[in-house]
Structure 1
């Protein structure tokens, strides 16, 4: 591929009902791609697909369900005839002290962000091998630097980064390229949901330099789409994230040492005001995930 075109390319985007996934689907469609949208929210997915026109279709799936994802992959290939690009974007988040977190919600972040990405790759890699295609794994600033009160999210995003790097070596000789996409705090339901927590909001405001800002969604997805066109091994939604790579090895000692401990002490008054409140998934996407799981549990128990 060259230039800015994805003409005729079939691109699968998970987590496409809202946020980065929905906006990225629109940007990719504008570059000529045909879109297979995958997510948990059928009504939202339908709205996104209809806005994109006849070259978009949608499938409802929980990315952690390997059987369902395998079926979706078969259906996408049957519908479009091929798959050229897969963007493993589906994700959920939670924040707050580890011991105050709801254990099920904490585990769910790992399941969706890490195991869901693995299930996505497992389902679609045969099609990508056939097309000599490209898998973009969406990671985060959280993969580059640890952060207190974000243990689940940091663990999951570090995990998917390592998974993608390992997979790149395995499938490169088959003609499949694998990239990792990095985003800082971007204006989505997830980030707005996290900012509703006073302690998290105040701690983020104290992050140095560009790390504490919230960035607009549009330019971020434009940079990601440009990386997909290039089939880049690393895609940075905000320009300064590239500069984090050379210093990332130093950050665990800095953040886990005096700096992180000082900020946790400062956060104690805000944390005390939420003492005893179990922390679950944040944002509208997190609420949709919890609703879908509750519905599944109710159906299975009948």
Structure 2
């Protein structure tokens, strides 16, 4: 947000809690009616949207067999449908030359429970809307971060000494996101070395599934 403001952009933030945006609208992106109402108000003030960033997300650690159904439903509504509702609601403001950024996750390229499933759906949406909006002259960017240390998603304690290699700082994601926008890059992974995870899952899903199953069995025996 501050990086965009430093570039001279007027930033309108949609979130459930107050933000540092120039203008703020309280909104739960999982609520389609609320998103539509907020978008109508914002578009009345700002008919053209130069850059729309879908960044809302909630975590859901655990597998399908470990979490409550309400958690599964919530993570899908926010991570996946939140991007869909927001994009469609602001579509009237996206014109030729506008940019849409979907902040997805490397988790969307691998198999790993409800969170990965929500990000996989968001990734498929981002790739699909890339094609659909091309005819309007709207450029879509898909950003897939790995583990990132944020207030809502603390990661460093999970990895100990390896955290410096596995966990990225938010500033790196911001820099790569803006670089992708500036250079018209459709899809990026941050950090870049997370790419092999997506390649292995795509090329050898059976091997990945077998490896994960073995790891899961070892964890069960160690309890």
TM-score, normalised on structure 2? 0.88
Structure 1 residues 161, 74: CA separation in 2 closer, same or farther (over 3 Å shift)? same
User: 1:236 maps to what in 2?
Assistant: 189
Write the distance in 1 (CA, Å) between the matches of 2:156 and 2:220.
17
Shift of 1:172: 0.5
- Is 2:200 the counterpart of 1:264? no
- Is 2:1 the counterpart of 1:30? no
Write the distance in 1 (CA, Å) between the matches of 2:176 and 2:119.
19
Write the distance in 1 (CA, Å) between the matches of 2:91 and 2:29.
15
The correspondence for 2:172, drawn from 203, 206, 219, is: 219
User: 1:141 maps to what in 2?
Assistant: 106
| SS of equivalent to 2:49 | coil
Write the distance in 1 (CA, Å) between the matches of 2:215 and 2:198.
24
Write the distance in 1 (CA, Å) between the matches of 2:13 and 2:59.
21
User: 1:10 maps to what in 2?
Assistant: none
Structure 1 residues 94, 244: CA separation in 2 closer, same or farther (over 3 Å shift)? closer
Contact 1:134 1:231 survives alignment (8 Å): no
Contact 1:184 1:211 survives alignment (8 Å): no
Shift of 1:106: 1.5
User: 1:171 maps to what in 2?
Assistant: 133
Shift of 1:231: 3.9
User: 1:57 maps to what in 2?
Assistant: 23
Write the distance in 2 (CA, Å) between the matches of 1:243 and 1:261.
20
Q: Post-superposition, which runs of at least 4 consecutive aligned residues in structure 1 deviate over 4 A?
A: 209-212, 242-246
Shift of 1:162: 0.8
Q: Larger relative contact order (C-alpha < 8 A, sep ≥ 6)?
A: 1
Write the distance in 2 (CA, Å) between the matches of 1:211 and 1:250.
28
C-alpha RMSD of the superposition: 2.5
Write the distance in 2 (CA, Å) between the matches of 1:191 and 1:265.
27
For structure 2, the 5+ residue unaligned runs are none
Number of residue pairs aligned between Structure 1 and Structure 2: 222
Write the distance in 2 (CA, Å) between the matches of 1:105 and 1:67.
21
| SS of equivalent to 2:168 | coil
Write the distance in 2 (CA, Å) between the matches of 1:211 and 1:244.
18
- Is 2:87 the counterpart of 1:121? yes
Contact 1:180 1:233 survives alignment (8 Å): yes
Write the distance in 1 (CA, Å) between the matches of 2:68 and 2:156.
18
Write the distance in 2 (CA, Å) between the matches of 1:40 and 1:256.
37
The 5 Å alignment of 1:192-203 reads 192=154, 201=158
TM-score, normalised on structure 1? 0.67
Write the distance in 1 (CA, Å) between the matches of 2:165 and 2:52.
30
Shift of 1:244: 4.8
Write the distance in 1 (CA, Å) between the matches of 2:189 and 2:83.
19
User: 1:299 maps to what in 2?
Assistant: none
Residue deviations 1:160-217, cap 9 Å, x none? 111111112112111111121100001113432x677xxxx4xx67xxx999711112
